[in-house]
Chain A
Amino acid sequence: MSDNGILRIIARFLIPLILLVGLYIQFHGEYSPGGGFQAGVVFAVGWILYVLIWGLERGLKVISLKAMYVLSAAGVLLYAGTGLLGVLLGGKYLEFYPLLESPHAAQQAGIIVVEFGVGLTVATVAMLIFTLFARRRSEWIAALEQDDPEQRP
């Protein structure tokens, strides 16, 4: 749809804004409504808008399918690892107080890190599911054309 000027200009204006709002919801989540889950979805939607306008091929150049797999696992591992770090430093699992000296700073650091893990997982999982569905149709057509070129859909 990149041949439509209105869509292209509006998307060019909106996509950075959406990504910025996603980051704001992520890192301002302790002070205002928001958190990793919402932020991840908003961030992923920015990328999906890019794909809707400029196509999946260019979208996958921004972030490859492999990067999505790795980052979605890295997000949950970051969450679980923060919990284990608390155990190693002498607390309970997912207890944040041992992380830093000051109790408030420790709690806030723990919350920011685990929320970032959630955001990372949610964003990449949303992109991943969208990509898998969006490329299915072209794979289907390719499978039909491969053996029997005259039976094009």
Chain B
Amino acid sequence: MRVRDLFAAGMLFAIYSLVSAGLFTVLDAGDVALTEAAVGAGLSTILVLAVLTLARRYEHPVGSHNWLALSVVLVTGALLVYATLDLPEFGAADNPAQVHVGPFYIENSYRDMGVPNMVAAVLASYRSIDTMGEAFVIFAAALAVFALLSVRPRRDMPGVRRRHPPRSAASKGEEDEA
């Protein structure tokens, strides 16, 4: 399937995230499902729409096929499929994920902290420094966007005079979204 309409591509990504969130719910991973629904389907879609107000709605058509890229994708995909043959059986009790630190958390987290949601206990207390790193990464993302976009556009900047902000993408995108 090929989508040149960037608005449609953004919506497809949102649907994909929402379906993934449903899959995580079926697998009993409530925290991950909540994150996927809120971030993947919600926030990133809104950010894509906000960026689309600055870009054209349709992807610039490319004349020929890029056979090198296609072969790289095919070979990498085939290798990944081949690698899945070595994975342990899905959900088996003796998987490395089930016998490493998992049992320790299951046995000790309630006794250590009295917190029923084990995910919260692991994230905020056992693995607190990891979570602090995550928070700093998010803060760094805001700093990066601020560094790029806090400069007000001027006429003599490259790209500002030559190209007007495209109309159709923005207005249509926002109307459809609402």
Contacts and interface: CB of A to CB of B under 8 A. Distances in A.
Interface of A: 1, 4, 7, 25, 29-35, 37-38, 41-42, 44-45, 48, 52-53, 69, 72-73, 75-76, 79-80, 83, 93-94, 96, 103-104, 107-108, 110-111, 114-115, 117-118, 121-122, 124-126, 128-130, 132-134, 136-137, 139-141, 143-144, 146-148, 153
A52 B113 contact: no
A83 B128 contact: yes
Given A125-B141, A134-B50, A114 B124 contact: yes
Contact of B46 (A35, A121, A130): A130
B165 A141 contact: yes
A41 B39 contact: yes
B155 A146 contact: yes
Nearest to B148: A132
Contacts of B121: 30, 107, 111
Contact of A30 (B39, B115, B135, B170): B115
Contacts of B115: 30-31, 107-108, 111
A48 B46 contact: yes
Given A41-B39, A144-B164, 18 more contacts: A4-B178, A7-B178, A35-B31, A35-B123, A45-B46, A52-B178, A79-B132, A108-B114, A111-B121, A114-B131, A114-B132, A118-B131, A118-B134, A125-B139, A128-B145, A133-B145, A147-B155, A153-B164
Contact of B117 (A29, A83, A110, A153): A29
Contacts of B146: 69, 128, 132
A139 to B, nearest CB: 5
B116 A31 contact: yes
Contacts of B18: none
Nearest to A128: B142
A133 B51 CA distance: 6
The interface size bin for chain B is 35 or more
Interface string B119-151: 111011100110110111011011001100110
B77 interface: no
Contacts of B50: 130, 133-134
B161 A144 contact: yes
A72 B165 contact: no
Contact of A41 (B31, B42, B125, B132): B42
Contact of B124 (A52, A93, A111, A126): A111
B118 to A, nearest CB: 10
A126 B146 CA distance: 12
B132 A34 contact: no
A4 B177 CA distance: 14
Contact of A104 (B114, B134, B161): B114
B125 A107 contact: yes
Given A35-B31, A121-B138, A128-B145, A83 B153 contact: no
A108 B115 CA distance: 7
Given A76-B135, A130-B50, A137-B53, A114 B128 contact: yes
